[in-house]
Structure 1
């Protein structure tokens, strides 16, 4: 009798678990599915209408063709030898047989582990039914086995050149992320249960958001990663007090109000990237590098780039240097009377600053006394996964698309950056937004990340060709204003910061770039990645940084002997700045006795793509 009760209890528990996967109200579910399809039709209509009206132009053909060519090279290696092909097929078949045998064991034995263990940090498969439900467990393990097998095909293709292997690995990772069973309604237990529990209401909300996001992207998907209604620039983002003291058709120059009685004699000019906006350095009071620098006694000036449109189509790097950096230097001298400054460049803003310094060195312009580069590449030999998108065919396709409007649409570059971390920045939001039907939470960093910028055609084409494709800047072949640029002509002191987990400017790439400058270089490696490693206030007491000898030899050798320090690199940078010139003057207020052009953060930063 006891055994019978135990069996009935187990059966009732199983029935209760399975009951979650059945519709509570089939009629209501059918109605909601019809409503979801209607919303999906609106999304498709927005996508189609944008292309019919010429508001969106597809430039995905070149990347897709490149992916097909790359996979064809991998397939050619394995299929050219019947023995190798049979070996690859046998390996996959054996793995599936292992999963099958494991599933049979789990039917008769307890505490049988998965054939392929799931990584503890893999957030996709945290739901208990990925392990306890035979159907979903099999799907998960079949997926993991196939993904691992695909990686082996790439790594085992001995005849591939390094470029093709790099591309193949990247494309395999993108395909693996996209085809994960966690991304589909019928193969994700959590999504399936939620859909049944709400009778499909989640899909109605999700498809409505999808239609809104395609409309907002003017025919392209503008993936929402944060609740944008909770943020407003100048109110709870970019709030450090300051003034707009100069403006032209490309930039606004911001000067921030001092908070100390005295300030350093040399002002600080920050050259941010024009891909995304400068306020990553002034995100909120607790994480603002700009506010912190002001508190350390710097007179801080920032270039705020305009979000370009067709008017800026022909602006190349020389124009960005002239109308951006040189204009800022003239503005600073007029505002402070100082003829020498400290300059800081972040990401591609640093690359532009390096090119500008080389051009100014050739002209005898010595207004910049020190330069700080934050996650900046000047040599692109090891530039990471972004190189996957840069070859002659893809650049030609981009040039053609940009020529039509004069700029690259903001969503294109944003998508490329998100693909570098698709498992964190794309698919979780696709699942949460469009299948679960839940709006994302407010998060200032992700709001900034989605506040994308257009890219002026001539500027972007010069960048891709001279840096990523031909690596001209570090090899003395880049030309601006008729002058060939030589980084070795830059003999001023350099503070060069890399971050250890950077997907955009890999630490090894930044390290190697140090050797091309002609003066002393202080190389520092910060923990975390491209954003968190840079925006790391001392008060947060997070991460660490490494310092060592001169950045010579191999990066791995330098790191092996480097000294690790807890916390933020910011105080280390401040000490470095003071070691170059610690003279002070009375604090300078923005545009004293003059009419300013408005309050910081200005107008240009508010222009949304």
Structure 2
């Protein structure tokens, strides 16, 4: 790829090729983190802390009190036994590193208590410093936690009683297995091979098995039409728009865990978009290309195959955000082909985007742009690294202890295999998405244009079904919930337990899932998110049947299923599902 081609799609100003090459090289060392962004955050925090002697005195006092409390606790435990004395501090509910009974023995109890007290002190030291920009405060606090987690006593042999006990029982066999695991993982990374356990999962063999045909394709998508599973189906087809940051089969994982399978079994005609995994040749694809060649071309194909019927459109994550943009543009043009709009864990207002905001500011986006400029895309490794940092305690350190010291391999389950089947993001599209939506929040602040005309979510008049998940660190549910403030149509909001992926992939019969659902008519007063939690009753099980019933209420009477594809050039069945784009590395 030449520089001339890239410069044609450049979104930056004052960019010099030498600077960009330097930044791209630095990014390979820093894992994509901008040194300037981190430095600005620390300088902001340090300067304001330096001119706050009162806060400094308060922190010294807190440190002294914590040290005194820990010392007294240590002396009492040494004299009388740890079981007779309550701990100084309890771990946070999501921190399970010190739950085992071995951690209550001397001196391990003192070590982990000292670690937790240090974590607590650092949190106080990096929050609520007057004058520090909120984003900088979050960055300093987050990076402090990352550094402290490196030194957790659970990470090291001589300070982890569970590990020492296991090693004694097994005569060191666990360490030998751990060394083999480490060597295997290292060899796989060097050779560019998938992680251990992926060999048992194959797309088209035991993943993405719902029968269907690719009925349309272009440079960016394949469109899959799934075969009917019932004699009669609702007349309005369902078009699903997955995020291009993930392979589509998260929604067709395997029999019994497939949303697609569930929908066709309930009498819906389902179409699924499968995004191409972009290469350097696709660096010039932008948000408009994804809207037009993605959603609009797919919608045209669905209308050709199932004529004279409106379409239920559903989008997941980034696919949901793009679908909202497309629906708003259609509303502006008077295009009424949508029967309803459904968004799974998708944001339209990015003022509270969750922990990913830690990696997004002007400096960081510029740094990412230079890395993408050099390669033509954002690599899957860079994206995976960012997501791992958000949960480094579980995804990095606890995993290393479990697999490389305990010698225990986690079984590769279907959802983990899908998560390891990574994708890339083209330069122009990702830059536009980060700047226009994440940084500037142009869509809800009336600055997002399509074909030179402003579009607004409140122009959409089709009913909306939105889903949030309680443990979502990518699209926090309260951010997703904001659609209730912005939409001027009927909105049904469902909140399910689980995370960004596991909460969405929740088939009926899941033993641990609950959900809450509230239907707000356009004339009804707004229900604040905390009031939603307190007032809306919780239901046991999956939210899928709730969505099916909602779709059925907004659909016509069932009739004969449509044919597979259309007898029109370009829309005839081309190949069996799952198609070829999903198999591209």
Report the TM-score range of the alignment, normalised by the length of the smaller protein: 0.7 to 0.9
Q: CA deviation at 1:216?
A: 4.9
Task: Determine if contact 2:40/2:136 at 8 Å carries over to the other structure.
Answer: no
1:319-360 CA distances to partner (integer Å, 9 max, x unpaired)?
011111111112212322244211000111000001111122
Distance 1:55 1:241 in 2: 46
**Structure 2 residue 99 is matched with structure 1 residue 122:** no
Structure 1 residues 563 and 204: alpha-carbon distance in aligned structure 2, compared to 1, 3 A threshold: closer
Which has more helix, going by share of residues?
1
- Counterpart among 573, 597, 602 of residue 574 in structure 2: 597
Partner secondary structure for residue 530 of structure 1: coil
Provide structure 1 residue ranges, at least 5 long, that are not aligned to the other structure: 1-50
Provide structure 2 residue ranges, at least 5 long, that are not aligned to the other structure: 1-21
Structure 1 residues 192 and 542: alpha-carbon distance in aligned structure 2, compared to 1, 3 A threshold: closer
Structure 2 counterpart of 1:393? 363
- Counterpart among 135, 151, 168 of residue 163 in structure 1: 135
1:496-546 CA distances to partner (integer Å, 9 max, x unpaired)?
222222211111111113332332222222222222222222232542222
Deviates more, 1:504-513 or 1:474-483: 474-483
Distance 1:232 1:425 in 2: 24
Q: CA deviation at 1:309?
A: 0.7
Distance 2:537 2:104 in 1: 43
- Counterpart among 105, 108, 113 of residue 86 in structure 2: 113
Partner secondary structure for residue 136 of structure 2: helix
Counterpart mapping for 1:348-387 below 5 A:
348-387=318-357
**Structure 2 residue 488 is matched with structure 1 residue 518:** yes
Task: Determine if contact 1:548/1:561 at 8 Å carries over to the other structure.
Answer: no
Task: Determine if contact 1:217/1:411 at 8 Å carries over to the other structure.
Answer: no
Distance 2:384 2:186 in 1: 19
Q: CA deviation at 1:446?
A: 1.2
Task: Determine if contact 2:216/2:223 at 8 Å carries over to the other structure.
Answer: yes
1:173-194 CA distances to partner (integer Å, 9 max, x unpaired)?
3333333222234433344555
Q: CA deviation at 1:108?
A: 1.8
Structure 2 counterpart of 1:310? 280
Partner secondary structure for residue 482 of structure 2: helix
Structure 1 counterpart of 2:447? 477
Count how many residue pairs are aligned between Structure 1 and Structure 2: 551
Structure 2 counterpart of 1:211? 186
Task: Determine if contact 1:545/1:566 at 8 Å carries over to the other structure.
Answer: yes
1:419-446 CA distances to partner (integer Å, 9 max, x unpaired)?
3333333322222334444433121111
**Structure 2 residue 167 is matched with structure 1 residue 198:** no
Structure 2 counterpart of 1:246? 216
Distance 1:426 1:334 in 2: 48
- Counterpart among 455, 465, 468 of residue 498 in structure 1: 468
Partner secondary structure for residue 545 of structure 2: helix
From the CA coordinates, give the structure whose radius of gyration is larger.
Answer: 1
Partner secondary structure for residue 565 of structure 2: coil
Structure 2 counterpart of 1:296? 266
Distance 2:472 2:283 in 1: 30
Structure 2 counterpart of 1:426? 396
Structure 2 counterpart of 1:6? none
Distance 1:301 1:442 in 2: 29
1:548-600 CA distances to partner (integer Å, 9 max, x unpaired)?
35372532123332232222222221222122222222123423778632211
Distance 1:385 1:446 in 2: 21
- Counterpart among 265, 283, 306 of residue 336 in structure 1: 306
Deviates more, 1:597-606 or 1:531-540: 531-540
Structure 1 counterpart of 2:71? 100
Counterpart mapping for 1:560-599 below 5 A:
560-591=534-565, 596-599=573-576
- Counterpart among 174, 180, 184 of residue 152 in structure 2: 180
Structure 1 residues 76 and 208: alpha-carbon distance in aligned structure 2, compared to 1, 3 A threshold: same
Structure 1 residues 552 and 165: alpha-carbon distance in aligned structure 2, compared to 1, 3 A threshold: farther
Structure 1 residues 178 and 68: alpha-carbon distance in aligned structure 2, compared to 1, 3 A threshold: farther
Structure 2 counterpart of 1:607? 584
Q: CA deviation at 1:227?
A: 1.9
Partner secondary structure for residue 444 of structure 2: coil
Partner secondary structure for residue 102 of structure 1: helix
TM-score when scaled to structure 2?
Answer: 0.87
Distance 1:186 1:607 in 2: 45
**Structure 2 residue 47 is matched with structure 1 residue 70:** no
Structure 1 residues 63 and 371: alpha-carbon distance in aligned structure 2, compared to 1, 3 A threshold: same
Distance 2:482 2:321 in 1: 14
Partner secondary structure for residue 97 of structure 2: helix
Structure 2 counterpart of 1:44? none
Distance 1:284 1:177 in 2: 36
Two-structure CA RMSD over aligned residues (Å): 2.7
TM-score when scaled to structure 1?
Answer: 0.84
1:96-118 CA distances to partner (integer Å, 9 max, x unpaired)?
23222222222221323333344
Partner secondary structure for residue 285 of structure 1: coil
Partner secondary structure for residue 538 of structure 1: coil
Task: Determine if contact 1:307/1:453 at 8 Å carries over to the other structure.
Answer: yes
Task: Determine if contact 1:496/1:514 at 8 Å carries over to the other structure.
Answer: no
Distance 2:95 2:186 in 1: 29
Partner secondary structure for residue 518 of structure 1: coil
